[in-house]
Structure 1
Amino acid sequence: MSLYLLIKLSWVVGALTGVLPIGKGFGWAEWVVLNTVTVGMAVIGIALALALVRPWGMRIPGALVAFCSWVGSGFLVSVLPFVLSRAFLGGGSQEGGGGADPAMPVWEGVLVQFSFVGMGLGLVLAVPGYLRRRWPDAFIGRVDDGPRTVPPWAAVVSAAVGLVWIYWAVGGKVGIAHPAERNTDWYLLAAAWGFWALAGAAAIWVVAGARPARWPRGLPLAFGWVGSGSLFAWSAWKLPLMLYVAMTDPADVTQPESLPVVVAVHLCAVVAGAAMMRTLVRTPGRSSATAA
């Protein structure tokens, strides 16, 4: 993430001094604010990476580390299949995080992708190890070790959101206001978000219903973690960007989706993702249930 941090810092400084161009669809102030926010996110990512592997990371409040790990996994682990597919199929000009500049040099794009992929793979390795060290009881045993509860409404909402994204990924036009604006990246991202929404919904259903009974708890917890994080993180990021585009109506940016439809989808995704994570952390395993 240090590479990403340096690139974003150069964009902020370049915009402030007038030596670098402003990104497509943004004014000067909005471009500086957006990239300052991503600078902060990169700093948090670097601190998280260290906290997950250094001894002092176990002394930080667990909720803070878990939240940052969950959001980071939702952002980056969930799009690893997208990056792989994009490498084979070739993507359009739309960066996954939104607000990309089409004039970005190739080497900058490579370093940004290297940062995303490297951090995503690092989270795949480091987050499970950290969570098992800090909360070992949550990951032992099988699915039926915990109490059986009614599957939450959030799983149903997540499944509905996932089906909408899959429908769009296969070429569906309902809810699409400008079909010509869709490109390869748009289809691949819709497919990735749809997959994780459906996978997360299925995982929550398994954990809450304690079926199939003989499955190890770690499997649905992993898919529920990334699936709910993907719903929350990406929609919480995309929603204000889309509202900004709708309010400013820049001449050089047109969103493919109908604004009311996509706002409703992202709002449902944010709420469902947060509720699904709450279900995960409140569903104890055998040891914690016995202790309670």
Structure 2
Amino acid sequence: MTTTRHPEATAPEPVRRALGWAAIAGTVPYLSLKTLWLTGSTVGVRDPALLHDRSIVVLNAVTVAMDLAVIALALALTQRWGRRVPGVAILLPTWVGTGFLLPMVAAILPATLLSALTSPPVAAQDLPLEGWVRPMVYGGFAWQGVFLLLAFVLYARDRWSAEVERGGVAAAQAPPARSAAWGGAVLAGLSAGLHLINGVISADVITMGVQTINAGLAVAGSAGVLALVRGTARRRWLAAVGAWTGSAAMFSWGLWAAVTTMGATTLSVAGAPLTGMAQLTGLLGGFALA
């Protein structure tokens, strides 16, 4: 993929670097807490047995690695040397990161805070974690999401503006691209419907809000990809943003649900078949759309 520079879209270097360091700052709470847990501390944990579960140990290690990847990405997106990194080495991890972090900003953190303010108190012994852990962790993720995605927008406009604006699919690639796009759109639509049904069945306003956002991202992903593949997008950047964010959110959280369920972890959705189907169809739909 070629590199294209557009002076009018280029932000000053200090602004870029500030965004990168701000994103890195957002990793500190999570990395600190997980490092403590991995080294034997039980800070923030009411049930120490939770930290000895093998699947949780593995997940803690994996998510620490993911947060370290955020640091690497933040530097690559905001330092001059990052413009020489091969495109795929930027696009793939940023796409997956977008999928995890954008829903955290738009749905998961707000829902967590609203639940803490409006839900009746739960007995301490019924909760595995202290009440401050999830808001702190999710707040750090949301912080990362805001600044990392802002940095990526500047990076992408500087490097790939011409490609997005020119767009189009080569004639030889059009039939398979359209087939994949329509297949992904069908799966995305199914995932969106399942998310909405899940929200309605829950009879909870906060859950309904989260599921509606999930459904909206699925629709945005399929609509954006179809518009790009069919060449009907009047605003190509808007279609690209929808395609990027929607497909990423479906894939990333669907993959997380699949891994945690297949690994029989305490985070498994095996006991919630509707949620599992929504995530599975999202995983497959997001992959097809990507």
Letter in 1 for 2:284: V
Aligned position for 2:64: 39
1:80-131 per-position Cα deviation (integer Å, ceiling 9, x unaligned): 2214642674259xxxxxxxx9343344333312211111111331111111
Pair 1:262–1:113, CA change in 2 (3 A):
closer
- Per the TM alignment, residue 154 of structure 1 is displaced from its structure 2 partner at its CA by 1.0
Q: Give the counterpart letter for 2:58 in structure 1.
A: V
Q: Which residue, 34, 46, 65 being the options, matches 1:8?
A: 34
| 1:256-271 equivalent positions in 2, closer than 5 A | 256-258=271-273, 262-271=275-284
Q: Is the 8 A contact 1:162 1:194 kept in 2?
A: yes
Structure 1 distance, partners of 2:33, 2:182, is 42
* Conserved 8 A contact 1:91-1:183: no
1:31-62 deviation per Cα after TM superposition (whole angstroms, max 9, x unaligned): 21111111111111111111111111112221
- Across the aligned residues of Structure 1 and Structure 2, the Cα RMSD in angstroms comes to 3.4
Matches within 5 A, 1:188-203: 188-203=209-224
**Could you tell me which amino acid in structure 1 is paired with residue 218 of structure 2?**
A
Correspondence 1:205 to 2:226: yes
In the TM superposition, what is the alpha-carbon distance from 1:226 to its structure 2 partner? 0.6
Cα distance in 2 between the residues matched to 1:233 and 1:223:
15
**TM-score, scaled relative to structure 1:** 0.73
**Residue of structure 2 in register with 1:66 after alignment:** 91
* Closer/same/farther in 2, CA of residues 236 and 134 from structure 1, 3 Å limit: same
Equivalent residue number for residue 155 of structure 1: 185
**Do residues 105 (structure 1) and 130 (structure 2) align?**
yes
Could you tell me how far 1:228 is from its partner in structure 2?
Answer: 0.4
The residue number in structure 2 matching 1:86 is 111
**Structure 2: which 5+ residue stretches go unaligned?**
1-26, 118-125
Aligned AA for 1:266? Q
Give the deviation of 1:244 after TM superposition.
3.4
Corresponding residue for residue 50 of structure 1: 75
Are residue 232 (structure 1) and residue 218 (structure 2) matched? no
- For the residues of structure 1 that align with 2:78 and 2:286, how far apart are their CA atoms? 26
Give 1 or 2: higher helix fraction: 2
SS of the aligned residue for 1:79 comes to: helix
The farther-off stretch of 122-131 and 227-236 is 122-131
| TM-score after normalising by structure 2 | 0.73
How many residue pairs are counted as aligned between the two chains?
Answer: 250
User: Do the aligned partners of residues 19 and 88 (structure 1) sit closer, same or farther apart at CA in structure 2, a change above 3 Å counting?
Assistant: closer
The alignment partner of 2:39 has SS state of helix
> Residue 257 of structure 1 aligns to which amino acid in structure 2?
A
1:154 alignment partner AA: G
1:170 is paired with a residue of what secondary structure?
helix
The 2-side partners of 1:87 and 1:233 are apart by: 20
- Percent of aligned pairs with the same residue? 26
Mark the CA change 1:7 to 1:188 in structure 2 (over 3 Å): closer, same or farther: farther
CA distance in 1, matches of 2:269, 2:275: 13
1:139 to 154, 161, 164: 164
Q: Please, which moves more after superposition, 76-85 or 159-168?
A: 76-85
> Deviations along 1:225-280, whole A, 9 cap, x unmatched?
010000110010111212334xx7x7x9885522xx55544333222212212xxx
Native 8 Å contact 1:11 1:20 kept in 2: no
